[in-house]
Amino acid sequence: MDRQALVALAKQAMEKAYVPYSHFKVGSALLDQQGRVHLGCNVENAAYGPTNCAERTALFRAIADGEAPRSFQAIAVIGDTPGPITPCGVCRQVLIELCPPDMPVYMANLRGEIQETTVAQLLPGAFTMNDLNGGT
Ligand code: THU
């Protein structure tokens, strides 16, 4: 599956967003190693803090469906932003935990712009599992 196709699926997922507060819909599509796609949208909450971004919804959904951590090929995210949408800091931390560091991230908007980066490039100096218990 090419990046255009993955972005198109993320755009479909965007329509499912639950956004009564921001009215800002975001969609995500996560491609696993078997070629399956896990879709996600943002899901907001009256307490604001519990809001889940589209990227994390797709990642957590894939894990809950039995996909192994780091068994993913690519993720696309799309929103109605002036430039390609960029994942928030919390999602970057979750991406570095659950995806290969060199995995492509396709950031898109409704104007047809797509920018490509990697999980590791999104979070230089990330704290990861390798840092835990490092001194013992
Ligand atoms: N949001 C995402 O779902 N993904 C992003 O990459 C950026 C922000 C959501 C969170 C919230 O529901 C809304 O967009 C406004 O911040």
Which residue has the least CA distance to atom 14 on ligand 1? 24
105 C-beta closer than 6 A to ligand 1: no
Find the DSSP H helices in the chain. Answer: 3-14, 54-64, 89-98, 119-122
Cα of 57 from ligand 1 centre, angstroms: 11
| Distance from C-alpha of 28 to C-alpha of 59, rounded to nearest angstrom | 9
* Residue 136's pLDDT band (cuts 50, 70, 90): low
Looking at residue 24, what is its pLDDT?
98
The predicted model scores a pTM of 0.97
Which residue has the least CA distance to atom 6 on ligand 1? 87
Looking at residue 133, what is its pLDDT?
76
85 C-beta closer than 6 A to ligand 1: yes
135, pLDDT greater than 60:
no
